[in-house]
Amino acid sequence: MICINDDGTEVSVSEGDAYIFAPGHDGWVTSEVPFVGYEILGSGKDFGAWKKAD
């Protein structure tokens, strides 16, 4: 799967990868193999790409 963020950066993930896609992105599957992703959310979502500025 490839994901392109609004700022133009690109993230490519494959089977077994862990990843973070920041808000503001578009993604698509790039192979014939079905892609299954699991989105794990915590309450507040104040970490990683979603971290609020102090």
* pTM, to two decimals: 0.59
Q: Where are the beta strands (DSSP E) in 1-54?
A: 2-5, 10-12, 25-28
12: which strand partners? 2
Check residue 49 and give its pLDDT.
63
15: which 2 tokens? 């089977």
pLDDT tens for residues 4-45? 988 899 999 988 888 888 778 899 999 898 888 887 766 556
Check residue 46 and give its pLDDT.
62
Check residue 18 and give its pLDDT.
86
Alpha-carbon distance of 1 to 23, in angstroms, equals 16
38: which 2 tokens? 């699991």
